[in-house]
Structure 1
């Protein structure tokens, strides 16, 4: 549905003078309508009263200051608690689909401090009949501003279709208020002013009450609904299963309006539609449920009548629908209207089963053009459509569609060739690796066959396929690796795909207790634990040995995730167990404090494989600012990895009133660690102070413990119950496009540096909700100067903020600095 709306929108952009119908998609119809930009003229802004000429209605423009007036609209008298007397009115000149409103108070460069804490909205389509807006649960009062400066955006759920909109301030007690406002949405090209339908009915399904009424209808409601609009025009299409809703917390059947044939003896439901003027109608689209196993089907026939003047025309248009007895998916049904001219349409929809459910009705039409010198059509005694203009329009549309089809064919053809080339490259790479590893395969065959007979999974391959998609794009699956030196050491492990995202839906995934997460997704065929262990600790990985499990003494649980836990333990004799290149303070006779990450015994096979691959990767990392893997316990369950313990915890909790030089020193260490990871082409994907641990003498080491701790649960945003993302630290392309690169880590470093210099006293973008943070990423994408940046911390020099932080948040990822450049710049600032 979104794709079809997008294509239609392209046609509309190519034909700006066309009145063709464009699909309304509520999530994308969020453009400012002109209070701020000036497209709405002063004469279209009026008010019930004004306190003075300098606070007239024309000054009630959000974020707008032309040097004239006092910077807002203020009514003549103090607002009343009911909020029904004073109003600021905006005339949009035509019908618009309005999804969002914004408000602001009056500050007048520090001379004013008036704002509306709450307000109501009324709207009208004709200027005479006014409707009070209410949310989906009946509430009318909207929470407004808490100060005179900040802009507060509120979604209108449900959205409204209107030409005139009034903002009506509400106060708890008599007080002076001032307002500046903006409306967001898009033009309502349907021209539909109202529809009249029978009231929706109640279904009892297996003891469950399913309410199929039009709960947001804004017209008159009795046994039937008249002269209004509602859920059939709210831009939200019902789900396949009508018992569920797009809107959280609503009752079963909320998205649909439905009727049973038991209440309609004539076998049809009749609906009437009235439009803003006479139009030439091409088709009508009706979104229907089709769950025939519950007695719900699409209509079998639609018969429509037309009215251009005062009387209904005798000639009708009928459309019969072939019944779909296979798919139970909800869908749009297109009813051809034969280019009939009318200002009102009345349609009868005939039942094909017990129930008929609609969630959306839309029309395709163009403005009718009249020519009295030509003979009128039979079905229209007063009007005649100019067929020449219609033919020109149709010809243009056909040409544009042909161009679009050509482009689509070219794109599809390129994708086919890319897949063919990819398969050929894979075959060449496989042949090369097979030849190169023939000797190693023979040497490994004895161990593999013996382990397979003991219950390990059978695999026909003994090397990994390493085939990255491209040089800069990274799949949003796990942390990313492109270590050339790993290719040789990992060839004798089970097969995996380096470009396939983990999880069936390809959504970004963040492991809940990972120290260093991996990009590698688990393949379907893996060796048994014993086989992996044998390969893990032979050859170049011989330094990572099995630590005696009985020498670990539990002291404290540090964190807990979905698949495991992190414990503080004492490791007896660990100093003698370690390599010489890892000096550990303390005597060899006293136990060493270590962090032990364990995998739950009931973890699934994919989690076990990820855990073992994480060990393999971490065993290679050697940098003073990266947490070091000391040893493992993988001979029996639970699987364990033993890492350095940073006694001062994470940086987020450690920061206090430190001097600026100490703070920059910490940032330099983080930049140094990230410089090392970027040299290995690692993408961390969750860089933040919560994932930086503090040791003795302010030593900082990068880890990935943050998500395993309940303390930081508020730093992550759950998308549709699946992916959990640290959106306040993520770049716009990571959130919108799922693209994770070194440049997105640079963005996160800028936020982390901001955390450090604010002493972690507040969350990034603390004044914005999670949804507003995501909306702000859209502003970065559009790049129209409306994006919100994190402010300069009080102790931060101007140069560090403007030259470093802001450069980390540049829209173009290629223009952001590298970690090498960041490290050098921080070293210079410290000097």
Structure 2
């Protein structure tokens, strides 16, 4: 029922404005979705260094694209990628040619050119006007560059820049998302200068506009009105780009445009669209003579060669003289069809300022698609998914001529039928929710046979060998990748919380499972009702047996989920960490950020002397003391402030050689800070991914390496740290190599910075706009039922072991899409022998892989405890 409703809504939903913070996922260089034919170059050195080999983290051919000959400073050699459709490009990643240690060519800098039509090419420049981006410093490490501003394009060229005659090679990944808004250019009067008395001059021009400037008018390009950055309430303030006042707004003064009293703008789209509304983000700081527009009139042009339709759509706004906040004004466009719009925005005061304009439009649904929708109850779900969400059909529908009058009654009848079906579906959903709440008050009984399962035999284990063929743009997606409930997140996100909305996403889930999850709280299983196969046996009280306190960390990720009893006992004690002079913290690098604060890498002057005897810091040998500083924003909510102090109190009581230590705090004044250890070698994921297994070849060529005994020693340390947390009934919920820090003596300390770091945001996945979860490390019950326990940490530990013995060269389940990973958890639940396990790493001893498989047992009691894992791993180190 939910799937049917979603299909209808997806087919008719209006497209919204892009959010640059979430539009950051790989577009397909590394995984092959971008075909070889779509990657070209101005030249190539050899056939084996052609453009098709310019794929990040891949080493086919001779390992990269290399232009022919020595690159001179005056050369403009380029690598060109055709993305197949208009794309909102936000990030570029580059590497050099490593070729399994046989290459050492890379581009130290590069420029970007781009084109939306393949004819007119534009040069990208940042918000300060610079066109050159910093490239690589070695041949193997990838460098990720954010594009500020982002680019809306179909074709992109990377042009290596050199200041000396040298050889360069490049591997590339591009990150962004489809530009479904469809706007390819807008025209408007140039912005103007504002000189408010007592304030600096505000330049309200469109500084990132990539079109033409003639006769004080902009045309043929896109700029700040489509960059996804919304201006602040006070237009004299800007976000964080170190630019001038008024930067985020394009603004005009009423009397500077003659006596007409309006600003006329023209918008051109990639194809004919059926427009439902226009959203204009407008400033309303009336105390300085700025207000939203009083009214707007829009005319429509169906085709570029046609004239403007005579009848406009007019809309009057409700002016606000009380609230000075900037706001989106939604203008209904009454489903008018056009390829171009001309809108006149009428002044309500002296000034009018816009920071973003977006359009919502519908694609026409073909009659055959409507028939499929109406008969979907009798057809198979698979047929409905493929046929109703086929992008190619949608494009054909939207670009074809409007239906003739003979088909109009049929279309109206189909739409009426769909509306009636929607009403019925909504009624049934509301009824089901009501029944669910009633049943929630009664005891729930889950049958043993519905949850009992044994570890699959070898015949049930499926090791994925061949990658699935990913869908190309313009073709129908197939299989679980069509599931529209899941949205890819590449970089930062405030938090991951309750994933309960996920429990009904698998259409084959049994009714009993849904019933058990219906009222289930996050990480709070009903211990009184669970069967022996559901409850994880432990001598100590399990953390899920108590009320759970979920602390909101400054970066969105909480360090640990802990029992309320633990927090209550701690809040009655003073913070044991000492107050450190914040002026002695010297900023070195921002590690990450979130909704309520940031994490910085800092150098702490005089910290060993401050901590005195018994300092947990190792001998520094003259090196500066590096620390991680979690800083709470001064404007954080009171709840976030309380959670921050509770996290300090909890961390101050943690004392284990394999758990990150709280060293000191800065809480006497805002912003509140906690200072924790940070290891010289960074996180374990980065450390291992840059190394090979130790051999005579690595020694002879001075290649960074690790031994098998090193890997086993790391595994034992992680199990020891998790054993300590489990003894306190703490649940980490995000155990992975990215959250294990490493010093120069290969000592491991478990931390929680992974989610906040840009580098690892692709390891997290957004669910219906609410939850962000590391699904590739999570147990099936955590994904489907929202249950986080020590047993689910054991599952994540098994995946972490797998990462270690693959030297972090690939992501877990790298051949599966995120949707397929989630579908695979359903196979664990159903236990019909179709579940996919991670393969045995070549470096991993068979006995150790058996231990991993036990960690991934479907039946929770069959998973080992961390005490058992520690005891099982220790003998391997001594072998």
Equivalent residue in structure 1 for 2:118, among 108, 127, 147: 127
Equivalent residue in structure 2 for 1:227, among 206, 209, 220: 220
Superposed displacement of residue 319, structure 1: 1.4
Distance 1:398 1:172, change over 3 A: farther
Question: In structure 2, what is the Cα distance between the partners aligned to 1:387 and 1:625?
Answer: 74
Question: Does residue 68 of structure 2 align to residue 76 of structure 1?
Answer: yes
User: Counterpart of 1:171?
Assistant: 162
Question: In structure 1, what is the Cα distance between the partners aligned to 2:209 and 2:53?
Answer: 33
User: Counterpart of 1:283?
Assistant: 277
User: Counterpart of 1:710?
Assistant: none
User: Counterpart of 1:303?
Assistant: 297
Distance 1:615 1:626, change over 3 A: closer
User: CA-atom RMSD, angstroms?
Assistant: 6.5
Verify the 8 A CA contact 2:299 2:313 in the aligned structure 1: yes
Question: In structure 2, what is the Cα distance between the partners aligned to 1:54 and 1:652?
Answer: 35
Q: Secondary structure at the match of 1:127?
A: coil
* Deviations, residues 195-214 of structure 1 (Å, cap 9, x unaligned): 11122233445524443322
Distance 1:362 1:624, change over 3 A: closer
User: Counterpart of 2:77?
Assistant: 86
* Deviations, residues 299-343 of structure 1 (Å, cap 9, x unaligned): 121111233325434332211122345554443323233443433
Q: Secondary structure at the match of 1:79?
A: coil
Equivalent residue in structure 2 for 1:207, among 175, 199, 215: 199
Question: In structure 2, what is the Cα distance between the partners aligned to 1:210 and 1:216?
Answer: 16
Question: In structure 1, what is the Cα distance between the partners aligned to 2:849 and 2:127?
Answer: 44
Equivalent residue in structure 1 for 2:333, among 315, 321, 337: 337
Verify the 8 A CA contact 1:518 1:614 in the aligned structure 2: no
Question: In structure 1, what is the Cα distance between the partners aligned to 2:326 and 2:220?
Answer: 27
Query: Which segments of 5 or more consecutive residues in structure 2 lack a partner in the other structure?
Result: 367-400, 444-519, 528-536, 575-603, 616-638, 661-677, 683-705, 742-746, 759-771, 824-839
Question: In structure 2, what is the Cα distance between the partners aligned to 1:55 and 1:650?
Answer: 38
Q: Secondary structure at the match of 1:262?
A: helix
Verify the 8 A CA contact 1:19 1:189 in the aligned structure 2: no
Verify the 8 A CA contact 1:210 1:252 in the aligned structure 2: yes
Distance 1:682 1:107, change over 3 A: closer
User: Counterpart of 1:678?
Assistant: 726
Verify the 8 A CA contact 2:523 2:787 in the aligned structure 1: no
Equivalent residue in structure 2 for 1:819, among 857, 861, 866: 866
Superposed displacement of residue 137, structure 1: 2.0
Question: In structure 2, what is the Cα distance between the partners aligned to 1:824 and 1:52?
Answer: 54
Superposed displacement of residue 167, structure 1: 1.4
Q: How does 1:321-470 map to 2 (within 5 A)?
A: 321-325=317-321, 327-365=323-361, 386=404, 470=523
Question: In structure 1, what is the Cα distance between the partners aligned to 2:652 and 2:175?
Answer: 52
Q: How does 1:714-793 map to 2 (within 5 A)?
A: 732=774, 741-742=789-790, 746=794, 783=821
Verify the 8 A CA contact 2:562 2:730 in the aligned structure 1: no
Question: In structure 2, what is the Cα distance between the partners aligned to 1:138 and 1:249?
Answer: 12
User: Counterpart of 2:694?
Assistant: none
Question: In structure 1, what is the Cα distance between the partners aligned to 2:37 and 2:787?
Answer: 46
Superposed displacement of residue 703, structure 1: 11
User: Counterpart of 2:49?
Assistant: 55
Question: In structure 2, what is the Cα distance between the partners aligned to 1:20 and 1:798?
Answer: 53
Q: How does 1:462-541 map to 2 (within 5 A)?
A: 470-471=523-524, 498-499=547-548, 501=550, 519=564
User: Counterpart of 1:195?
Assistant: 186
Distance 1:164 1:118, change over 3 A: same
Q: Secondary structure at the match of 1:825?
A: helix
Question: In structure 2, what is the Cα distance between the partners aligned to 1:367 and 1:663?
Answer: 54
Q: Secondary structure at the match of 1:123?
A: strand
Q: Secondary structure at the match of 1:471?
A: coil
Superposed displacement of residue 123, structure 1: 0.7
Distance 1:389 1:297, change over 3 A: farther
Question: In structure 2, what is the Cα distance between the partners aligned to 1:624 and 1:93?
Answer: 52
Superposed displacement of residue 397, structure 1: 7.5
Question: In structure 2, what is the Cα distance between the partners aligned to 1:609 and 1:158?
Answer: 37
Q: Secondary structure at the match of 1:237?
A: coil
Question: Does residue 252 of structure 2 align to residue 259 of structure 1?
Answer: yes
Distance 1:561 1:750, change over 3 A: farther
* Deviations, residues 323-368 of structure 1 (Å, cap 9, x unaligned): 3455544433232334434332211001123332222222234579
Question: In structure 2, what is the Cα distance between the partners aligned to 1:560 and 1:114?
Answer: 38
Verify the 8 A CA contact 1:193 1:276 in the aligned structure 2: yes
Question: In structure 1, what is the Cα distance between the partners aligned to 2:717 and 2:227?
Answer: 53
Verify the 8 A CA contact 1:20 1:189 in the aligned structure 2: no
Distance 1:14 1:678, change over 3 A: same
Superposed displacement of residue 20, structure 1: 6.0
Question: In structure 1, what is the Cα distance between the partners aligned to 2:428 and 2:297?
Answer: 41
Question: In structure 2, what is the Cα distance between the partners aligned to 1:811 and 1:135?
Answer: 50
Superposed displacement of residue 684, structure 1: 6.3
Q: Secondary structure at the match of 2:255?
A: helix
Residue-pair matches, total:
623
User: Counterpart of 1:633?
Assistant: none
Q: Secondary structure at the match of 2:125?
A: coil
Question: In structure 1, what is the Cα distance between the partners aligned to 2:680 and 2:109?
Answer: 40
Superposed displacement of residue 104, structure 1: 3.4
Verify the 8 A CA contact 1:731 1:744 in the aligned structure 2: no
User: Counterpart of 1:155?
Assistant: 146
Distance 1:186 1:420, change over 3 A: same
Superposed displacement of residue 232, structure 1: 1.1
* Deviations, residues 353-412 of structure 1 (Å, cap 9, x unaligned): 333222222223457999xxxxxxxxxxxx866467788778778877887787777777
User: Counterpart of 1:146?
Assistant: 137
Question: In structure 1, what is the Cα distance between the partners aligned to 2:657 and 2:95?
Answer: 50
Equivalent residue in structure 2 for 1:184, among 175, 188, 198: 175
User: Counterpart of 2:384?
Assistant: none
Verify the 8 A CA contact 2:54 2:64 in the aligned structure 1: yes
Distance 1:388 1:211, change over 3 A: farther
Question: In structure 2, what is the Cα distance between the partners aligned to 1:484 and 1:561?
Answer: 44
Q: Secondary structure at the match of 1:158?
A: strand
Question: In structure 2, what is the Cα distance between the partners aligned to 1:29 and 1:397?
Answer: 32
Distance 1:349 1:147, change over 3 A: same
Question: Does residue 315 of structure 2 align to residue 315 of structure 1?
Answer: no
Superposed displacement of residue 194, structure 1: 0.9
TM-score for both structures, normalised by structure 2:
0.54
Distance 1:355 1:682, change over 3 A: same
* Deviations, residues 666-701 of structure 1 (Å, cap 9, x unaligned): 976874675465356333689999999xxxxxxx9x
Q: Secondary structure at the match of 2:118?
A: coil
Q: Which protein has greater RCO, CA pairs closer than 8 Å, 6+ apart?
A: 2
Question: In structure 1, what is the Cα distance between the partners aligned to 2:98 and 2:652?
Answer: 59
Q: Secondary structure at the match of 2:129?
A: coil
Question: In structure 2, what is the Cα distance between the partners aligned to 1:251 and 1:169?
Answer: 30
Verify the 8 A CA contact 2:110 2:134 in the aligned structure 1: yes
Verify the 8 A CA contact 1:116 1:171 in the aligned structure 2: yes
Verify the 8 A CA contact 2:551 2:647 in the aligned structure 1: no
Q: How does 1:105-116 map to 2 (within 5 A)?
A: 105-108=96-99, 111-116=102-107
Question: In structure 2, what is the Cα distance between the partners aligned to 1:25 and 1:668?
Answer: 42
Question: In structure 2, what is the Cα distance between the partners aligned to 1:650 and 1:92?
Answer: 40
Superposed displacement of residue 189, structure 1: 2.7
Verify the 8 A CA contact 2:72 2:162 in the aligned structure 1: yes
Q: How does 1:514-663 map to 2 (within 5 A)?
A: 519=564
Superposed displacement of residue 190, structure 1: 2.9
